[in-house]
């Protein structure tokens, strides 16, 4: 690691496993010139208070890995992720698996801990909420540091293969059925054009029906806002309903 341009540029000469998120880099702007001497790098924890009251003088930076795509799955499938396939895990390490609503959201209240203390995670009967990002966090002992510290992580992505259907077990005809907005035999499902076949609820006469993949929506006339289904509001509060 080197610092140049009077402290305005930081260069990582080599990236280590523990340089990645959720570990953070930070730079602080100070009004005085710091002493010209080497200082040791110290661990820094982002507290709840600092998350709610961010400093205007301290800026945080993160490095994140590209996600590892596990494969394409349908709802109802089973997916297994074995961490030793992607990372060497020591016997003394501790692994925590976290579901992230999107990348780099370990500080987000919506994160969910899926499992702890295991090197493999298996999700049976995938639901819609199971697709997306899962992060494995590895903690282990380090010299002269009490307790385990973060040493490595891997980010995985479970991709939804087909939004048209759901299969329970194998993808055979008797185990699959089409999702709402699609029609077929369960194995082969195609989009229903609700604008042509009739909709659960009709758009307003002045609104336009727009077919989507598995759904539809109603578009208000130009200059009007609203859902086009129940109401459209125009300039001056003019309302169509």
Structure tokens belonging to residue 183: 């029609």
Does residue 158 surpass a pLDDT of 90? yes
pTM of the shown model:
0.58
Q: What is the pLDDT of residues 180-217, one digit of tens each?
A: 889 999 888 998 888 886 665 678 888 888 888 788 88
The confidence band for 33, taking pLDDT boundaries of 50, 70 and 90, is: low
Q: What is the pLDDT of residues 68-118, one digit of tens each?
A: 999 888 777 889 999 999 999 999 999 999 998 776 565 556 678 999 999
Look at the alpha carbons of 176, 177, 178, 183 in this order and tell me if their dihedral is positive or negative. positive
Q: Say if residues 27 and 61 touch (Cβ distance below 8 Å).
A: yes
CA 23 to chain centre: 18
User: How many CB atoms sit inside 10 A of residue 170's CB?
Assistant: 11
Q: Say if residues 162 and 187 touch (Cβ distance below 8 Å).
A: no
Does residue 56 surpass a pLDDT of 80? no
Does residue 10 surpass a pLDDT of 80? no
Average pLDDT, the chain: 80
**155 Cβ neighbours under 8 A, 6+ residues apart:** 64, 65, 66, 67, 68, 103, 133, 134, 135
Q: Alpha-carbon distance 71 to 95, whole Å?
A: 22
Q: Alpha-carbon distance 77 to 240, whole Å?
A: 46
Q: Say if residues 135 and 172 touch (Cβ distance below 8 Å).
A: no
């Amino acid at each position: 690691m080197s610092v140049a341009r009077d402290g305005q540029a930081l260069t990582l000469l080599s990236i280590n496993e523990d340089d990645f998120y959720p570990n953070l880099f930070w730079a602080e702007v100070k009004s005085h010139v710091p002493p010209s001497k080497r200082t040791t790098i110290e661990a820094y924890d982002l507290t709840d208070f600092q998350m709610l009251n961010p400093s205007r003088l301290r800026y945080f930076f993160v490095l994140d890995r590209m996600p590892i795509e596990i494969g394409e799955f349908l709802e109802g499938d089973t997916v297994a992720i074995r961490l030793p396939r992607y990372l060497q895990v020591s016997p003394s390490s501790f692994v925590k698996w976290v579901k992230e609503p999107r990348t780099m959201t370990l500080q987000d209240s919506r994160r969910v801990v899926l499992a702890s203390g295991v090197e493999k995670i298996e999700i049976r009967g995938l639901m819609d909420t199971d697709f997306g990002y899962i992060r494995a966090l590895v903690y282990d002992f380090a010299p002269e540091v009490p307790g385990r510290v973060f040493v490595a992580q891997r980010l995985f992505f479970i991709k939804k293969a087909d939004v048209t259907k759901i299969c329970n077990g194998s993808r055979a005809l008797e185990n699959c059925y089409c999702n709402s907005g699609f029609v077929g035999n369960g194995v082969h499902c195609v989009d229903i054009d609700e604008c042509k076949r009739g909709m659960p609820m009709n758009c307003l006469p002045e609104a336009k029906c727009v077919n989507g993949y598995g759904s539809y929506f109603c578009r208000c006339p130009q200059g009007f806002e609203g859902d086009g289904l129940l109401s459209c509001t125009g300039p001056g509060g003019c309302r169509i309903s």
